[in-house]
Structure 1
């Protein structure tokens, strides 16, 4: 199982400077939909990371990383941002099914790999 990396203000450059796609989930421990839906996010990460070498998954706790939360204008939880070469190329608001999340990620990857 692929580990979903916990990012914060100290290590966020790891996904910002990644030469590929980074799927980063912004969450809070007190957010019930975030906690309930996280296993779906983990399953998606495990399946897709095995398929694509240029894809990484991570998470940011908004309570522990308020600067990142403000930097990326995250106001609702859970919010999933897809980065490509350091730029936010897709925002996914709210809870999604695994198949829905995977299709959004695949579509975003296809759109940005010309």
Structure 2
């Protein structure tokens, strides 16, 4: 089961108020690194859905959610934020490998 959700300014409270871990990636369709690296992020979500189904994974299009982009001080793309109980506990800037994402996330589980 894939637990990847598209969040925006109408439904972001689902991850902001979530008690567990939420991994949210900010991207833009015009961002080449975002597009090229998206399959890696998607694979991360699929891998963790099997071992940790309680973790929420999501994406936010910055062009469709400029208020969230400003609220969370997202200036570079792609940017991945890890939330725990509504608080940002880690920011991941730029493109990472599946192994790098996995190590970072395993440190928080």
2:98 is the alignment partner of 1:98:
yes
Q: State the 1:19 CA deviation.
A: 1.2
CA contact (8 A) 1:45 1:57 kept: yes
- Cα pair 2:22 2:57 within 8 Å, conserved: yes
| SS in structure 2 at match of 1:83 | strand
**Alignment correspondent of 1:112:** none
Give the length in aligned residue pairs: 109
Q: In 2, are the aligned partners of 1:5 and 1:59 still within 8 Å (CA)? A: yes
Partner of 2:49: 49
Partner of 1:13: 13
How far apart in 2 are the matches of 1:47 and 1:60?
A: 20
Tell me the alpha carbon deviations over residues 1-51 of structure 1, each in whole angstroms, 9 at most, x when there is no partner: 504211000000000111100000000000000000000000000010111
CA distance in 2, matches of 1:87, 1:18: 10
Aligned to 2:35: 35
SS at the partner of 1:81?
strand
Question: Gaps (5+ residues) in structure 2?
Answer: none
